[in-house]
């Protein structure tokens, strides 16, 4: 074995050790082991190259890394109950073993990530109620404020109604058209607010949230 091949052996050995005994990278360890054994058991670099090509070792190595990464991401999103973000690792894992080349692998991953990113963006529109909480509280303050009779119409009725009218106008002229740029059939689904991924960002009791949802629907004309 010449010096150059020996350097390659040491290089692939170091790659192998990086994944050794790491439960997150079980597939990568096996694929790196195959590459290491291929170079270590070859008489020269030409034979090694032939093994890599005939056994598709480089592509298998890339596939193994993607499988390990997406398996870890799948577990993470399952624990967080991130059902929409979970779509990407699930779809990638379902398709990854069918790819034949590194370019096909890259395209598949990028295509799925792009598709799911749109799903994530659309899902995040559910959280608009979080952005409106302060406004909903302000409207409630105006509506319930104890004021002299001569100011009731202005304070308890006219001012909060103006705020609601502005909210409805903004919703119809700005928010909904923006959402439908991503999904032409988009409709606000208030029931999604109770999904774990959305509920955990709203730090108020359930009873208060139920009231805020009703107020939100009025404020946005839903």
Residues of the chain with pLDDT under 70: none
Question: Any residues with CB less than 8 A from the CB of 120 and at least 6 apart, and which?
Answer: 84, 85
Whole-angstrom Cα distance, residue 143 to residue 153?
10
CA 79 from chain centre, in angstroms, equals 13
Q: Are 65 and 144 within one domain?
A: no
Report residue 76 as tokens.
Answer: 């993470």
pLDDT at 78: 98
pLDDT at 1: 72
Specify the number of domains making up the chain: 2
User: In terms of domains, do 93 and 181 share one?
Assistant: no
Q: Are residues 82 and 165 in the same domain?
A: no
What b/e string do you get for 89-106 counting C-beta neighbours within 10 Å, with b at 16 or more? bbbbeeebeebeeeeebe
Q: Are residues 86 and 155 in the same domain?
A: no
Do 68 and 26 belong to one domain? yes
Q: Both 16 and 83 in a single domain?
A: yes
Residue 15 and residue 61 in one domain: yes
Residues 11 and 62 in one domain: yes
Write out pLDDT tens, residues 89-98.
999 999 999 9
Residue 112 lies in a domain: no
Range of the domain at 81: 3-100
Q: Which residues contact 40 (CB under 8 A, 6 or more apart)?
A: 9, 12, 13
Quote the pTM value: 0.89
Residue in 4, 16, 18, 15 with CA at minimum distance from that of residue 48: 4
pLDDT of residue 59: 97
Residues 130 and 215 reside in one and the same domain: yes
| 17 and 80 fall within a common domain | yes
Residue 85: Cβ within 10 Å count = 19
């Amino acid at each position: 074995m010449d010096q150059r091949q020996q350097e390659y052996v040491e290089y692939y050995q170091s790659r192998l050790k990086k994944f050794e005994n790491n439960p997150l990278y079980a597939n990568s360890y096996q694929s790196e082991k195959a590459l290491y054994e291929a170079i270590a058991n070859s008489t020269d670099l030409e034979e090694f190259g032939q093994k890599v090509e005939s056994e598709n070792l480089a592509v298998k190595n890339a596939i193994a890394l993607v499988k390990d990464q997406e398996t870890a991401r799948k577990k993470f999103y399952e624990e967080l109950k991130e059902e929409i973000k979970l779509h990407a690792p699930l779809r990638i894992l379902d398709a990854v073993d069918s790819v034949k080349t590194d370019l096909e692998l890259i395209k598949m991953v990028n295509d799925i990530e792009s598709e799911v990113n749109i799903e994530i963006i659309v899902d995040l529109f559910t959280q608009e109620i979080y952005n409106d909480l302060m406004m909903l509280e302000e409207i409630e303050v105006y509506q319930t404020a104890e004021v002299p009779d001569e100011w009731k119409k202005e304070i308890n009725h006219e001012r909060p109604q103006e705020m609601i009218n502005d909210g409805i106008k903004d919703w119809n002229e700005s928010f909904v058209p923006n959402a439908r740029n991503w999904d032409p059939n988009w409709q606000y689904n208030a029931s999604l607010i109770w999904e774990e991924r959305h509920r955990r960002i709203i730090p108020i009791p359930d009873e208060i949230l139920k009231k805020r949802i009703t107020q939100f629907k009025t404020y946005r004309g839903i």
